[in-house]
Amino acid sequence: MDDIRILEPEGLDALIAALHERGYRVVGPTVRGDAIVTGDIYAASDLPQGVGDTQQAGAYRLRRRDDDAYFGFADPAQSTKPVFFPAEEVVWRGRRDEGHFTVERDAPKDQAVALLGVRSCDLRAVQIHDAVLADRPFHDAHYVARRDGTFTVAVACGEPATTCFCASMGTGPRPAATNEQTGEPAYDLLLTEVMAPEHRFVLEVGTERGREVADAFDTTRAGQEAQQEAIAVSDAAAARQTRGINTDTIHDVLRASAESPRWDDVASRCLACTNCTLVCPTCFCTTIQDTSDLAGDNAERHRVWDSCFSESFSYIHGGPLRGDVKARYRQWITHKLSSWQDQFGMLGCVGCGRCIAWCPVGIDITEEAAALGRMATAAGAAS
């Protein structure tokens, strides 16, 4: 779709208003406490204007930028994952009543969501969740209901953190126009924030629905040169990324690493705290917990995020299958970067770097992948 426009920064409010007028709940990046998080956006003033982030292994800090960029940060502390896949939800409620019982299913028909400012990495993560939770024979009905009618205003990333490695994963910093699994448009609108020579947004229309919204606020028509300018912003962001994973080899490296001595090494550092999995935009594991009130008249079944790093995750009759932490780390990285491919035909990692930044002890998935690769090569040469 060849519809490129220029949006002045002052026009962001009109864009947000146009989304609200169409009945969307607008969700995007906002500062809360010590971090940029994903939250409700009512006006451009809710966006983290002039705020940047500094991220490294095990450390995240906000910083004041020397300009007024609205999207001058890498990625929020949590992705949009909880918007469609909440940390805890009631699957059903049962009530005992005079010798009978009734069961009610919660209907999570939330207001349709407009994602504002979603990064390419996180957009790809939504596509992965769609493939896992919605596009297989058994749907996650709650997920499908929440995802229904989502409007997407993506923002190409111009400010990767040191922890980012989307370029190596092929998932950013500029989002692909189409979802490679479904062939559907990946976004309705794509913004790229350009800071020089003057502050403005290059707006690229991705769908007819996007065009209808874009027609509702003031923009200026632009041509290919504006798009080139936008691509240059993302290219520069890609060039600044220093971390990466070799996606050509990692699948087989992990296959060959089941008994690698590296697992003991990483387990000695890993806290088994679960943070990496709970900030990962693609991790989708949950557990089921049943509760009742004291009288036993009301019962609820909850679905709650779980993590392969907790001991209870692999508990079956007799004990946990993955009793030690090395087995859990191996499970996690192998699923992300290898068996996910066998299972879903894609990688389970989008290179957002959250598992690196938000690991309290700074365990780095790219470093572990590289070390496993070196050790597998050395072992291969020796045999």
Strand spans (E) along the chain: 4-7, 25-32, 35-40, 51-56, 59-64, 88-97, 100-105, 113-118, 151-155, 189-194, 200-205, 220-222, 286-292, 298-305, 315-316, 319-320
Out of 162, 179, 207, 275, point to the residue binding other proteins (CB under 8 A): 275
To the nearest whole angstrom, how small is the minimum distance from the Cβ of residue 177 to other proteins? 32
Longest Cα separation, the chain: 74
Q: At what angle do helices 365-382 and 262-269 cross, to 10 degrees?
A: 160
Among 1, 87, 177, 232, binds other proteins (CB under 8 A): 87
Q: Cβ of residue 97: shortest distance to other proteins, in angstroms?
A: 11
Select the residue interacting with other proteins from 137, 197, 296, 319 (CB under 8 A).
296
Going from the C-alpha of 340 to that of each of 82, 187, 295, 337, 349, the distances in angstroms are 21, 24, 44, 6, 9
**Beta carbon nearer to other proteins, 121 or 283:** 283
Site string for other proteins, 43-82 (x = CB under 8 A): ---------------xxxx---------------xx---x
Rg (CA), the chain: 22
Whichever of 47 and 57 has its CB closer to other proteins, that residue is: 57
Least distance (Å) between residue 106 CB and other proteins: 18
Site residues (CB under 8 A) for other proteins, limited to 327-366: 357-361
- Beta-bridge partners for 90: 302
Enumerate residues 17-36 that contact other proteins by CB under 8 A: 32-35
**Out of 104, 212, 215, 293, the residue judged to bind other proteins by CB under 8 A:** 293
CB 168 within 8 A of CB 243: yes
Alpha-carbon span 381 to 383, nearest angstrom:
6
Are 130 and 189 a contacting pair, CB within 8 Å?
no
Return d(Cα 44, Cα 298) in angstroms, integer. Answer: 44
Binding mask 229-268 vs other proteins (x if CB under 8 A, - otherwise)?
Answer: --------------------------------------xx
Tell which positions 119-178 bind other proteins, by CB under 8 A: none
CB 92 → other proteins: shortest distance, Å? 16
Of 53 and 140, the one with the shorter C-beta distance to other proteins is 53
In angstroms, rounded to a whole number, what is the distance separating the alpha carbons of residues 315 and 83? 29
Question: Inter-axis angle of helices 262-269 and 325-334, to 10 degrees?
Answer: 110
Residue 365 C-beta: closest distance to other proteins, Å: 16
Count CB atoms within 10 A of the CB of residue 174: 22
15 is an interface residue for other proteins by CB under 8 A = no
Residue 294 binding other proteins, by CB under 8 A: yes
Residue entry with tokens 């922890």 = 163
Stretch that binds other proteins, among 122-130, 196-204, 274-282, 335-343 (CB under 8 A): 274-282
Count, residues near other proteins per rule CB under 8 A = 48
User: Residue 301, interface with other proteins (CB under 8 A)?
Assistant: no
Rule CB under 8 A: which residues touch other proteins? Answer: 32-35, 37, 58-61, 77-78, 82, 87-88, 96, 267-275, 278-279, 289-297, 304-305, 307, 309-312, 325, 357-361
